[in-house]
Amino acid sequence: MNKILVVDDDIDILSLVKIMLTMNHFDVEAISRWEEIDTRLHDFKPDLVLLDVSLGDADGRDICKQMRTAKETSAIPVILFSANAEMGKYIDDCRAQAFIPKPFELSYLINTIKTYLN
Amino acid sequence: MAQVSEQEANLKAAFIYNFTKYIDWGNYNDRNEFVIDVLGDTTIANSLEQIAKEETINNKPIVVHVLENPSQAVDCDILFISKNCHFTLDKILPLVGKGVLTVSEQPGYARQGTAFNFIIVNNKLKFEANLKAISSAGLKAGSQLLKLARIIE
Amino acid sequence: MFNLRDISIKNKLILMQVFTSLLVLSIVFGVFIFTDINSYKQRKVESMISLAQVIGTNSISTLQFDDPDAAMEMLQDLHNVSPEIIRATIFNNKGEIFAQYSKPGLDSFRIKDVLKQRKFLFSGDELFVSSAITNNNEVIGKVYLDVELSELQQTKAYKLELAAVLLIIALLFSFLVALGVQTYISRRLLKLVSTMKNVSETGDYAEPLGDDGKDEIAILIQVFNKLMQQIKENQQKKDEFIGIASHELKTPLTTIKGYIEMLNMMEQEPTKKQFVEKAMLNVNKLERLIRDLLDVSKIQSGQLRLEMKEFNMNELLTETVNAVQMVSAPRIIREDKLKNEIIYGDRQRIEQVLLNLLSNAVKYSPGENKVIIDSEKTDKDLLIKIRDFGIGVTKDEQMHIFERFYRSKDTSVHFSGFGLGLYICRDIITRHCGKIWVEKADPGSIFIFSLPLKHSFKTQQTEA
């Protein structure tokens, strides 16, 4: 079963996505505090990270960039998501795999994740 | 000789009076009166008397004498030699001293030596002027007058 | 009739200066010429009277000795010396003519009555002067001179001509100077006007106008700049607000949509499922509205960016028709002849246009009616036509439906929405250098948009 790490500062969205992904047979860990990302990546070792861009005082894009520099995390596919559709333009810049605008269709979410799971 | 008409006399008297306005006697007449001696004609003397009543010459009253004899003409300013005068000019002129203006009324007299001589030209009364005679008499005549005269040299 | 108020400021200023010059110069010249001529006349009178007096004095003796000929000679000499004296007459104190001279060819002296009281008289082209001949305070006669004034006339004419020429030259000069000088005022004003016009036409509240003056025009410019600045700031604030608002709206919407979607999948009981489906429909509507609002705001502040790539129009159309067909009753029939036409553009945005037009067509074709898609190709453009069989769009409305917030006035058909969809479509199509319009069909309407084909697009520019 594939492991997905979901990071979003909105609790409701977090639980929604967790339910959606679990319903679709993914192993999900969902965190709202970005400080925990490093430990989660290390402990949980997800196959894909679903990363919100606006994380309060942090920016998902920067976190993605950081992941790309670290050897252990550089290969993990990252999908950014945001209510701001403009953020989609930055995926190449921070070397994320894809971008999902909010709100999204469930099917779109699942398909995109499946596509980018290596 | 024919008497001069009164009209003509008046005119000549007026002319004589007007002459005086243009003649400069210089130092020669320091008398208190202006004396006109008329030789031979009472008509013109009368005319001159008329003028004398109203006018003065050089601010002096005019005195008119009628003379019979040129030797009486002493101390006058003007000597008028009338037509009716019995004496010829050569008898008269030597007796006339300086400061006397001689006026005559016979043709040719100016050439003979009078200062002014009345003539009739085209029925108009005109006069001749003898410059030499004037200056010999020690007098000066104004150009305004001379320009109206027929000049005799 | 030409209205003074309507001529350009530049011309007003020039006209003003030239007119003022004209007025002032005319007055000045007029006064000068007038005083000049008057003093000439004065001098003439004085000199002629003097002359008459001299003549008078010189003719005293002629009067005294009644010698008119001598007097005549004098008068004749007078004419030789002063040829302008065309007649001269000496009267004796009885009022009879004593001596007289008239220039040959003229009739003899005519004494004017007026002259008996005055010493001189200007009459027509002639000047008459008189002078009494006195001797010892007694008036013995009078001299009258008749002087012709042709010299005066000549001088007058000459001066007037000169004045006219000078006036014209001065006006010309004044005009040229005004032409140059008026720019001091008008240039800044005209620049302000053209900037304002530009701003109002393009809606581009760009750079502030530079100006370092202190006068009223400078104030005008400063206030204008301030206003522009305010508008710019307002716009920015508005855009920020819309950006933030739509972001904030989308976040809880994500949750709502997500749960409703899952509920929709889970719920099988018909009534409940119906309820959920209704909710779902409206969540989607809400999502579209928020997205449109955001788009409009971006369009307005010029922030809508297109990602231009090549894509297959036929593919896109197929996808889109399928998506719309899935949720609509009317049948969407493809009668187009698209094969593999390649369009250079923002696929997502064109998709947006197609979705918009198709969903409109479906909305406005009530019941089981159909929607027909057609295409047309020129050597430059590709046209897509979407035909519905609804109530159609009236001629009047055809002009307005692409405007922001425009909603059909026909209240028999009640449809919700902000009225932004077509506005956004038009902006997108225009950015692609295409055209979008609507035609009346019988019944219904045909919405048509054109896009340049790939090869012809390369020759045109588009703003990113």
The domain that holds C17 is classified in CATH as 3.30.450.20
Q: Least CB-CB distance to C259: which of A16, A23, A83?
A: A16
Q: Are residues C136 and C272 in the same domain?
A: no
Q: For chain A, which residues make up each domain, given as ranges?
A: 3-116
- How confident is the model over B72-80, as a mean pLDDT? 83
Cβ within 8 Å, pair C65-B144:
no
Q: Are residues C371 and C444 in the same domain?
A: yes
For residue A20, the chain C residues in CB contact (below 8 A) are: 258, 262
**What is the three-class DSSP state of C87?**
strand
Residue with token string 């009258």: C144
Q: What is the distance of C-alpha B10 from the center of its chain?
A: 14
Q: Are residues C255 and C358 in the same domain?
A: no
Q: For residue C231, tell me if it sits in a domain.
A: no
Chains that touch B (3 or more CB pairs under 8 A): C
**What is the three-class DSSP state of C160?**
helix
Specify the amino acid at residue B56. Answer: T
> Which among C283, C255, C370, C264 is positioned nearest to C324, based on CA atoms?
C370
Burial C349-372 (b: 16+ CB within 10 A, else e): bbbbbbbbbbbbbbebbeeebebb
Chains that touch C (3 or more CB pairs under 8 A): A, B
Cβ within 8 Å, pair B125-C61:
no
**Which of C246, C249, C254 best probes binding to A when mutated, by most A CB atoms within 10 angstroms?**
C254
Pairing of strands B124-130, B116-121: antiparallel
Q: For residue C211, tell me if it sits in a domain.
A: no
What is the length of chain B? 153
Q: Are residues C32 and C175 in the same domain?
A: yes
Q: For chain B, which residues make up each domain, given as ranges?
A: 6-152
For the beta carbon of residue C374, count every other beta carbon within 10 angstroms: 17
Report the percent of chain C where pLDDT is more than 70: 90
**Which of B7, B18, B144 best probes binding to C when mutated, by most C CB atoms within 10 angstroms?**
B144
Q: Least CB-CB distance to C258: which of A20, A84, A85?
A: A20
Name the architecture of domain B6-152: 3-Layer(aba) Sandwich (3.40)
Residues 6+ apart with CB under 8 A from C18: C171, C174, C175, C178
Q: Which tokens belong to C449?
A: 């948009």
Domain that holds residue C284: 242-300
How near does any CA of chain C get to the CA of B15, in Å? 6
Q: Please tell me the predicted confidence (pLDDT) of residue C463.
A: 42
For residue C62, the chain B residues in CB contact (below 8 A) are: 148
Specify the amino acid at residue C401. Answer: I
DSSP string, C362-381: HHTS-TT-EEEEEEEE-SSE
Q: Please enumerate, as own/partner, the contacts of B140-147 that have beta carbons within 8 Å and a separation of 24 or more.
A: B140/B23, B140/B24, B140/B26, B141/B22, B141/B23, B141/B24, B141/B115, B142/B21, B142/B22, B142/B23, B142/B24, B144/B22, B144/C58, B144/C60, B144/C61, B145/B19, B145/B21, B145/B22, B145/B23, B145/C61, B145/C65, B146/B22, B147/C61, B147/C70
> Which among C367, C390, C384 is positioned nearest to C440, based on CA atoms?
C390
Cβ within 8 Å, pair C254-A102:
yes
Q: Please tell me the predicted confidence (pLDDT) of residue A118.
A: 62
pLDDT under 50: residue ranges of chain C: 411-416, 462-464
For the beta carbon of residue A89, count every other beta carbon within 10 angstroms: 11
Q: Are residues C391 and C317 in the same domain?
A: yes
Q: Are residues C265 and C376 in the same domain?
A: no
Q: Are residues C19 and C94 in the same domain?
A: yes
**Which of A20, A50, A102 best probes binding to C when mutated, by most C CB atoms within 10 angstroms?**
A102
Q: Please tell me the predicted confidence (pLDDT) of residue C117.
A: 67
How near does any CA of chain A get to the CA of C379, in Å? 34
Q: Does C240 touch chain A (CB under 8 A)?
A: no
Q: Are residues C378 and C441 in the same domain?
A: yes
- Tens of pLDDT along chain A (118 residues) come to 789 999 999 999 999 999 999 999 999 999 999 899 989 998 999 999 999 998 888 899 999 998 889 888 888 999 999 988 888 888 888 889 999 999 998 989 999 999 888 6
**Which of C239, C244, C255 best probes binding to A when mutated, by most A CB atoms within 10 angstroms?**
C255
For chain B, the straight-line distance linking the first and the last C-alpha, in angstroms and rounded, comes to 29
What does each C-alpha distance from C423 to A110, C399, C428 come to in angstroms?
A: 33, 12, 9
Per-residue pLDDT of B14-52, as tens digits, reads 999 999 999 988 887 778 888 888 888 788 888 889 888
DSSP C453: B
Q: Least CB-CB distance to A102: which of C243, C250, C294?
A: C250
Specify the amino acid at residue A86. Answer: E
Q: Which tokens belong to C24?
A: 């002032």
Q: Please tell me the predicted confidence (pLDDT) of residue C405.
A: 64
What does each C-alpha distance from C13 to B86, C25, C215, C289, C302 come to in angstroms?
A: 105, 18, 17, 55, 40
What is the length of chain C? 464
Q: What is the CATH number of the domain that holds C436?
A: 3.30.565.10
Please indicate whether chains C and A are in contact, defined as at least 3 beta carbon pairs under 8 Å: yes
Which residue of C lies nearest to B146 if distances are taken between CA atoms? C61
Which residue of B lies nearest to C71 if distances are taken between CA atoms? B148
Per-residue pLDDT of C36-53, as tens digits, reads 989 989 999 999 999 999
Per-residue pLDDT of A26-35, as tens digits, reads 999 999 998 9
Number of domain units in chain C: 3
Q: Are residues C287 and C323 in the same domain?
A: no
Q: Are residues C14 and C70 in the same domain?
A: yes
Residues 6+ apart with CB under 8 A from C340: C312, C314
Q: Which residues of B touch C (CB under 8 A)?
A: 15, 18, 21-22, 124-127, 144-145, 147-148
* Homologous superfamily of A3-116: Response regulator (3.40.50.2300)
Q: Are residues C275 and C144 in the same domain?
A: no
Pairing of strands C126-135, B60-67: unpaired
For residue C70, the chain B residues in CB contact (below 8 A) are: 147-148
Per-residue pLDDT of B120-145, as tens digits, reads 988 889 999 999 989 888 899 998 89
